[in-house]
Amino acid sequence: MAVSSRRLQKELTEIKTAGTPCGITLLKADDFQTWFLSLEVLGESQYKGEVFALMFRFDPQYPISAPAVQFVVDDKYKAPLHPHVYSNGHICASILGGEWSPVLSVIAVCITLQSMLASCKEKKRPPDNDRYVAHAPDNPKKTRFVYHESDSAAAP
């Protein structure tokens, strides 16, 4: 069993025994390649009543290599309207790029994204949304995001 699978199995056991934090639910984890979790912001926020889904994709180097994480965009789910979230579901968050650490986990990422949404002041797309979405690779890990304090931008 690959190290990445063993590590994910441990995370799964942890989720199943300790449960997930409030607002985070495991939707689907049938294998060690792709997981889906749902995310909502509890309490007062810009996203009250909205439920989002996150897709995690893992490669064999996980957790040394960060998972590819994006919001699911389909007929059931939409990407949250947020200055760091593109309409195709791609997320500009340093924790998913240069600030990833192998001690982080799927749940840790969910919590970070949850608080990213919770602290949102104004619901809007990143300024370069249309340009980025038109050329975005399928895998958000192939994008080099430039991280700003407030707004985000994908560097070509």
Partner 1 sequence: MSNSTTIFEVDNVPDPTDFPSTDVAPGLRELDEALRCSICGELFQAPLTVSCGHCFCSLCIRTQLAVKAECPLCRQSTSEFYLRKAQTVEDAVKAWNIARPYILQLCREEERRKAPVTPPLVDEGIEFRSPKKRKRSSTPDDEVVEIPKPTSSKNAQRSGLSPTPASGSSTPQVVPCPVCQRQVSYSIINQHLDQGCKSTSDFETGSSSSGSKGKQKQDWRKLFSAGEGSTSSGNKGKGKLKTKAKVDDDASPIPKVAYHTLKEKRLREMLADHDLPNNGDKDTLIKRHERWALLYNANLDRTPTDRLTLEDLRRELKKWETERQTKRQAVTDLNAYQKANKAAFNQLVEAARPKKPPTKLPQSDSPMSLNEVEEVPGSSSLTALSSPAPDPTVIVVDEE
Which residues bind to partner 1, rule: CB under 8 A? Answer: 1-3, 5-7, 9-10, 13-19, 25-34, 36, 38, 53, 55, 57-61, 63-65, 68, 72-77, 88, 101-103, 133-139, 141-144, 154-156
Q: What are phi and psi of 96, to 5 degrees?
A: -90, -5
Q: Please report how close the Cβ of residue 104 comes to partner 1 at its closest, in angstroms.
A: 8
Q: Please report how close the Cβ of residue 19 comes to partner 1 at its closest, in angstroms.
A: 4
* Closer residue to partner 1 in complex, CB, 46/153: 153
Distance CA 35, CA 33 (A): 7
Q: Please report how close the Cβ of residue 147 comes to partner 1 at its closest, in angstroms.
A: 14
* Active-site annotation holds for 110: no
Q: Please report how close the Cβ of residue 122 comes to partner 1 at its closest, in angstroms.
A: 25
Instruction: Write out the DSSP string of the chain.
Output: --HHHHHHHHHHHHHHHH---TTEEEEE-SSSSEEEEEE---SSSTTTT--EEEEEE--TTTTTSPPEEEE--SSS-----BTTB-TTSBB--GGGTTT--TT--HHHHHHHHHHHHHT--S----TTHHHHHHH--SSGGGSEEEP-SS--EEE-
Contact 141, 154 (CB under 8 A): no
Q: Which residues are catalytic?
A: 92
